[in-house]
Amino acid sequence: MLSKTYNLHPEDWVNKYGEKLYTYALLKSKNKEQAEDWVQETFLAGLGAKDSFRGDSSELTWLYSILKNKIAQFYRKASTKQEVPLNGLFADQENDLSLFFNEEGTWKEHSSPRDWQLDPAMALENKELGQILNHCLDNLKPGQKEIIVLKLMEGLGSKFICKDLGISDTNYWIQIHRAKLQLRACIEKKWLTKQGKYE
């Protein structure tokens, strides 16, 4: 009997995907040990469910969905524990947009982007700017940081993220835009202040 194999390589999982899954797990729990356990459970469950892999997503995406289910299960069981909220980001939508745009959707003078006077290649290496980014990420509303970070995680894909956040495809980049508006305003203020160029 020929059984089709879909190129799963469990022996390589830890090295190839360990850190990626761990990053996602850390977004959902502040507790390192908890995140480590979830990663281990995910690999073991994946091995056990090997035969159900149909190859219609990548190995990594498949593992992500197992991890996501594990985490959901955990928070269902431990109803006293609160999942890091990823969907608290829809309140006050009009309000925070009106900080930046007037009724026609044009930038308000005092909060429109300014030139950071940075060469992008240099900016990547700039430690000060890195620290500012760090600080400003932490000042975002719950969920806003996650939506920015999740987008950049390899192998997740927007379909997965929208499901995770319980938002529609269209809402996805609208929410990214909102989060970015806050983030870039914070960075700009701190960065230009440091350069003595913020009036």
Partner 1 sequence: MNLMVLSCQKAGQLIEKKQVKNLTILEKLQLNVHLRICERCADYEKQSVLIDAMLKKHPKQALNGQEIRLSDEIKQRIQKELDKRIKK
Tokens of 117: 């006077």
> Contacts by 10-18 with C-beta closer than 8 Å and gap 24+?
10/43, 10/46, 10/47, 10/50, 13/43, 13/46, 13/59, 13/63, 14/43, 16/60, 17/59, 17/60, 17/63
According to CB under 8 A, which one of 70, 141, 180, 189 is a site residue for partner 1? Answer: 180
CB of 79 to partner 1, least distance (A): 26
Give dist(CA 36, CA 183) in Å, integer.
29
Closest Cα to residue 18, out of 54, 47, 42?
42
CB of 29 to partner 1, least distance (A): 11
Q: Which is nearer to partner 1, 107 or 198 (CB)?
A: 107
Tell me the β-bridge partners of 101. 107
Q: Which is nearer to partner 1, 64 or 172 (CB)?
A: 172
Q: Which is nearer to partner 1, 105 or 196 (CB)?
A: 105
According to CB under 8 A, which one of 73, 106, 139, 193 is a site residue for partner 1? Answer: 106
- Tell me the one-letter amino acid at 189: K
Q: Contact positions toward partner 1, by CB under 8 A?
A: 10-11, 13-15, 18-19, 22-23, 26-27, 32, 36, 39-40, 43-44, 47-48, 97, 100-101, 104-107, 112-116, 118, 120, 123-124, 129-130, 133-134, 137-138, 145, 148-149, 151-152, 158, 172-174, 176-177, 180-181, 183-184, 187-188
